[in-house]
Structure 1
Amino acid sequence: MTLDITTLRVAFGAVAITLLVLFYTVAFRQTRSAYSAWWCAAILFFCAGSSLYLFDGTQHQIWANPAANTLSVLGTVSVWAGARTLRAGRPGRLQLAAGPLLTLLASALDSPATNTWSGGAVFLGMMSLAIGLASWELWRLPSSYSRVQAPLATASGVVAVLYLVRCIAFVAGGPDGSVFSTFFDSSITVLVTLVLLVIVSFSAAALSAEQIAADLRMRADRDALTGLLNRAGFLDLAHLHVDRLARTERPGALVLADLDFFKTINDTHGHAAGDSVLRAFARSCSETVRATDLVGRYGGEEFIFLLPGASVSRAEDITRDISLALRVHPAPGGFVMPTVSYGISSIEASGYDLDAAIAAADRALYEAKAGGRDRSVRALGPTHGTLDGSP
């Protein structure tokens, strides 16, 4: 049975348009993620490229064929760009443009008016390279990133290998060679690519759904004003971190922080000024702590930190740096930023009990307030007294 290439390309275009509409409405409009945007662009480029191939054999082939090759490569480059945004951010403009421009140049210089395979070797090579890079980016994601990254990476890898073998067969025997015409001609490739496009699109939609769920979880765990973890989100993660510290018997420190005389700022300068102070303190914390530390808004003007691997002395240094960073933040209306009091407890001294560590830090914070504020106080243990220390 001979596959009708024109019918297959029309079917490919119809499926691509359907997938584009579904993916845009179901995935992109809900996530607005860079990944979803790149995948929508990829489907659009594939659809446009497949449509232009329908001009082969007509007087428009001279421009339509090179344009179709270029748009198809743009589609695969978009697949790679989308995969890359999941791990390392958007590629540079030169990286995005190099493959399509080389394909356009090779196709335009290879008699496109009479040669339906103008620039074929470059076109097939670029298709294989871009899809292979997309597969590589997906495999490099952490195994826990998504349930569908492996199917996505596998499907992309299959397409990349298909185009690589096609390229080798094309270079070895040309488009009329027995191997290429029997196993890798356009009709067979369009059919295989059509099936894989459907598989990959559903996997991509599943990944977008996971992104939506992750975004909802993040919003549920974050304080809307400061962007830090809220109390529930902090405690959920802190329990996991403390359990990990207990298994490895590593040290850690827990800090409670309270902005001194915060109510006076609200009463004197208004709640907008108070909100700006809370945001400034959150920025000071984020700029000072490590990426592995946890920072959350515990309630009102009170904040909480978990510093895995840090000693109490190191925690005192961190609180000092946070206070210094807050002091230099500009305050709207020209008022002076408030000072901060801290209570610090040791995770291991609390028997790796998070609640006990919080209770010890809370008692130390009370001592800091009672002792004149603008200072750090170190808890000696979960049930013992405290020892003053300067911020």
Structure 2
Amino acid sequence: MTIDAFTVNMLVAIVTMTAGTLYLLETMLRREVGPGRVWALGFLSGMLTVVAYLLWQGTADPWVAIAIGNAALVSTLGCFWLGCRSFNAHRVRPAGAVVGAVAIVQLVVTLAAGPDGGDWAGAVLLFFGVAVFAGLASVESRRAGMGAIWSSLGFTIVFAFVAAYYFVRAIVLWVEGPEGSLFTTWFNSSITGIVSIVLTIVALTTATMLRTGRVTVRQDAEHATLQVTPAGVLSAPSFETAVGSVLSRARGEEASCAVASVRMDDLAQIGVAFGTVEEESIATQWHTGIRRYAPVFALVGDGDEASVLIAWQPASPGDARRVAGRIQRRLLDDFAERGSAVIPAVGVGIAFSDDVGYDPGALIDAAQDAARRSSTSPDASVIVAEAGDDRAAPIRG
């Protein structure tokens, strides 16, 4: 049985509209920021694509609808790539400018063909653009924090397939034209519609799973569930669980471990004074800087809404103090080089298992308390928590 192109487009439209509406509603209910918001733009572009292509099938002079649909389609894949970059805390604006430029070029090229351009006006450029952005999204989904999450394999596989399919489709169309036997048999609109349906379903499922930030790690005899935030660090409960596992082994070896808290209490005030965009930008730079400057094999996770925690095994207490001081200085230097209107205060506190003990909760609480003292001290010095009570020793420089 052969399904005509209009029927296939109707099926694609139903699936895309349903998936897009569900994702957009969830995005609004969750008040999503970061990658979820960018992926929502991708679904919106996909919805615009199917509407434009339905107009193409249903009108006598569809060249404007074709141009809009082509530009929206390349934007859809571009937005999914941008969402993956945002998830990994990579720069989005320059890449976004590239996506916008490609979409505009696609629109202009298709419109330039005019009414006589036919159904495949600008199609070769479109297919190459889709292939490139899908390939970039597939590669980005295996990088940084996103690559550590098993559910991102859905993006990796489906975008790799889409990239390969559209690349070959572009070559075939370029070589033999839209009337060629190979193109009409294996790369026609019906088969492409099936590819689009699969892409939409996998994209909806994977994007929904990714923004929960959940990753399951299978071990030999047990299952441990860790939660990784979109910033690429462990959630607070997951961090405490992971630190507890490390400390239980360190206790048996009588090894010294350290937990540092890097605190920025005025982030909310920055959002009120300068807007949420500035607040999100500083928060992203904060998380990125801590991940970059923390020891290589350190655990990095959220503490509370104003702190990020680092756990590692230092060579000595003095080495831990130097590491904490270096992180603080480099973060402040990065904020200064950024040229923003405000440089937030960064407090750092350290707690050692030799002083506080091997209980993860107590060690984290001690580091947090020391960081609070640091953030409110006149010189924002690094403070080391001491055993017992409220005492803490400041470290200069």
What TM-score do the two structures reach when normalised by structure 1? 0.63
Offset of residue 81 of structure 1: 0.9
Offset of residue 210 of structure 1: 3.5
Q: Could you tell me which amino acid in structure 1 is paired with residue 318 of structure 2?
A: S
The residue aligned with 1:226 is none
Cα separation, 2, equivalents of 1:200 and 1:115: 31
CA gap of 1:346–1:165, structure 2 versus 1, over 3 A, is same
Q: What do you get for the CA RMSD once the two structures are aligned?
A: 5.1
Maintained 8 Å contact 1:148/1:206? yes
The residue aligned with 2:182 is 179
Cα separation, 2, equivalents of 1:32 and 1:121: 35
Maintained 8 Å contact 2:258/2:311? yes
Cα separation, 1, equivalents of 2:36 and 2:351: 44
The equivalent position to 2:98 in structure 1, one of 69, 92, 95, is 95
Offset of residue 244 of structure 1: 7.2
Cα separation, 1, equivalents of 2:328 and 2:91: 33
CA gap of 1:240–1:33, structure 2 versus 1, over 3 A, is farther
1:26-65 map, 5 Å: 26-27=26-27, 29-30=29-30, 32-53=32-53, 54-56=55-57, 58-65=59-66
Give the count of matched residue pairs: 319
The residue aligned with 1:18 is 18
1:354 equivalenced with 2:358 (yes/no): yes
The one-character-per-residue Cα deviations of 1:94-151 (angstroms, maximum 9, x if unpaired) are 2221221221222122344441100111011001111111111112245773231112
Cα separation, 1, equivalents of 2:17 and 2:4: 20
The residue aligned with 1:9 is 9
1:164-243 map, 5 Å: 164-210=167-213, 214=227, 236-242=241-247
The one-character-per-residue Cα deviations of 1:303-348 (angstroms, maximum 9, x if unpaired) are x9855324223345578899999xxxxxxxxxxxxxx9x997575x
Offset of residue 9 of structure 1: 1.2
Maintained 8 Å contact 1:8/1:187? yes
CA gap of 1:14–1:296, structure 2 versus 1, over 3 A, is closer
The residue aligned with 1:312 is 317
CA gap of 1:319–1:180, structure 2 versus 1, over 3 A, is closer
Cα separation, 1, equivalents of 2:167 and 2:146: 27
Maintained 8 Å contact 1:3/1:188? no
Cα separation, 2, equivalents of 1:344 and 1:80: 40
CA gap of 1:314–1:163, structure 2 versus 1, over 3 A, is same
Structure 2, unaligned stretches of length 5 or more?
216-225, 262-282, 304-308, 331-347, 367-380, 388-392
CA gap of 1:186–1:253, structure 2 versus 1, over 3 A, is closer
Cα separation, 2, equivalents of 1:71 and 1:217: 26
Offset of residue 163 of structure 1: 0.7
CA gap of 1:13–1:252, structure 2 versus 1, over 3 A, is same
1:254-273 map, 5 Å: none
What TM-score do the two structures reach when normalised by structure 2? 0.62
CA gap of 1:6–1:89, structure 2 versus 1, over 3 A, is same
The one-character-per-residue Cα deviations of 1:339-379 (angstroms, maximum 9, x if unpaired) are x9x997575xx8x96259x89xx9xxxxxxxxxxx998999
Maintained 8 Å contact 1:84/1:91? no
Cα separation, 2, equivalents of 1:84 and 1:109: 32
The residue aligned with 1:132 is 135
Maintained 8 Å contact 2:213/2:230? no
Maintained 8 Å contact 1:12/1:47? no
